[in-house]
Structure 1
Amino acid sequence: ALEGDAWIAVQGDDGAEAYTRRGDLQVDGDGLVTLVGRPVIGDGGPIIVPLGSSISVGADGTLSGYGEGETPEALVDMGRIKLVTPEQALLRGDDGLFRPAPNADGEVAALPADENARVASGALEGSNVSAIEAMVSMIDVARRYEMQMKVISTADENAQRANNLLSIQG
């Protein structure tokens, strides 16, 4: 999980830098990737991690690990995940990734790394919506709507009856 307004830099389908808050990362033949296979960007481009390596992520995004068949004493620094904290809102793309708004020339510039951004290793960000509370709220709104419709219907019937009485007396 990412702390505060931090985002992880990943490589989009077009090869440009994009951003996500999904922290479910894994190692495959291409290195460190998101769950859907997008390469995670480090200080010098996509982070390459040997397949079968055991890795850990530090609070600042630093990757440490050791290769398959090696002992923890052989721990080496494997790079650092580029974490950014945008000053302005990011725009969501069709691919589900976020990017900064284009500048006056229509170019989208990569955001600078934020040395103060933090990541919680081994934790995933939970949803901020409770499905049960949302369902109860939706049922409550539906019942209130039904009651309001009944009040309007009853008022309409009363108005029709009043018109009938006035037309009979007139």
Structure 2
Amino acid sequence: MINSLWISKTGMEAQQTQLDVISHNLANVSTTGYKRANAVFEDLIYQNLRQVGADTTEQSQLPTGLHLGLGVRTVATSRSYTQGSLQQSTNALDVAIQGNGFFQVNMPDGSIGYTRDGTFQLDSQGRVVTANGLTVANGITIPPTAQSITISAAGAVTVVLPNNPTPQPVGNLALATFINPAGLEPKGQNLFTETAASGQPQNGTPGTNGMGQVSQGFLETSNVNVVQELVTMIQTQRAYEMNSKAIQTSDQMLQKLAQL
């Protein structure tokens, strides 16, 4: 009877974690380039009270065993990297990735960060930076006299200068892919960093070696499906209530036992 209290307690904790993940997804439903996460669970170890396949006689064995589980726990939060829809923008520096890949930006500690958020802007020195002021890895600088900025599907950035109709190249937006993007570590601010689980980045030009192309004047929206999250939230609520009810039932049975 005591086991049921503990098992239900682990169930409530698991559903609370699930609700935390769902809440985070819903909070970022409008975040550019956000990829939805979901909690992953596993059952805990079992009490092996009767071993399956044990000998009952010299000629026979048990066809089934007696194994009592001890509950559930959260083991991971996996992230879905399905493509978000593209939303048109009026900013010439807004760029979306169609397909696989991440933009590379310089982190404050000198390392490289990776993001799907292509909301780029210019800083006071004309450098292309993220909304948080981090420069893109290739160090693209736009001349102050540039009349227009063009970013090709392959990431080539060109500008048109006064009295010169020929577009002038100023840099390239390179992408990076990973064997296991789910192994990237989220750092907040739409940034991820490389880990041993993600593998080393494969850098390259957009549109080559399985990398997606970039689209100027578009932003990738979040891939969170609000209806799906609300349905999962209702399921989580019902599962939490059932685990709570199991605790109440176990408590009532213990009270009845104490009255005997």
Q: Choose from 10, 15, 19 the match for 2:110.
A: 15
Answer 1 or 2: which has greater strand percent: 2
Q: Choose from 86, 108, 113 the match for 2:178.
A: 86
- Unaligned runs of 5+ residues in structure 2 are 1-95
TM-score by length of 1: 0.68
Match of 1:135 in 2: 230
Q: Residue 158 of structure 1: CA displacement?
A: 7.5
**Residue identity opposite 2:153 in structure 1:** A
Q: CA 1:72 to 1:158, structure 2 compared with 1: closer, same or farther past 3 Å? A: farther
**Residue identity opposite 1:131 in structure 2:** V
Aligned mates of 2:165, 2:194 — CA distance in 1: 41
Q: CA 1:158 to 1:110, structure 2 compared with 1: closer, same or farther past 3 Å? A: closer
Verify the 8 A CA contact 1:29 1:50 in the aligned structure 2.
no
1:83-162 to structure 2, matched below 5 A, reads 83-89=175-181, 91-92=184-185, 94=187, 96=189, 97-101=191-195, 111-114=202-205, 116=208, 117=211, 118-147=213-242, 149-150=244-245, 153=248
Runs of 4+ more than 6 Å apart = 158-164
Write out per-residue CA displacement over residues 22-77 of structure 1, whole angstroms, 9 at most, x where no aligned residue. 111112223111111111122xxx1111236321211111112224xx37834322
Match of 1:32 in 2: 128
Q: CA 1:154 to 1:119, structure 2 compared with 1: closer, same or farther past 3 Å? A: same
Q: Residue 6 of structure 1: CA displacement?
A: 0.9
Q: Residue 95 of structure 1: CA displacement?
A: 6.4
Aligned mates of 1:92, 1:47 — CA distance in 2: 26
Q: Residue 21 of structure 1: CA displacement?
A: 1.6
Aligned mates of 2:166, 2:109 — CA distance in 1: 36
Identity %: 30
Verify the 8 A CA contact 2:97 2:215 in the aligned structure 1.
yes
Match of 1:105 in 2: none
Aligned to 1:145, the other structure's residue is in SS state helix
**Residue identity opposite 2:141 in structure 1:** I
Corresponding pairs, count = 155
**Residue identity opposite 2:228 in structure 1:** E
TM-score by length of 2: 0.48
Aligned to 2:219, the other structure's residue is in SS state coil
Verify the 8 A CA contact 1:88 1:100 in the aligned structure 2.
no
Aligned mates of 2:151, 2:244 — CA distance in 1: 56
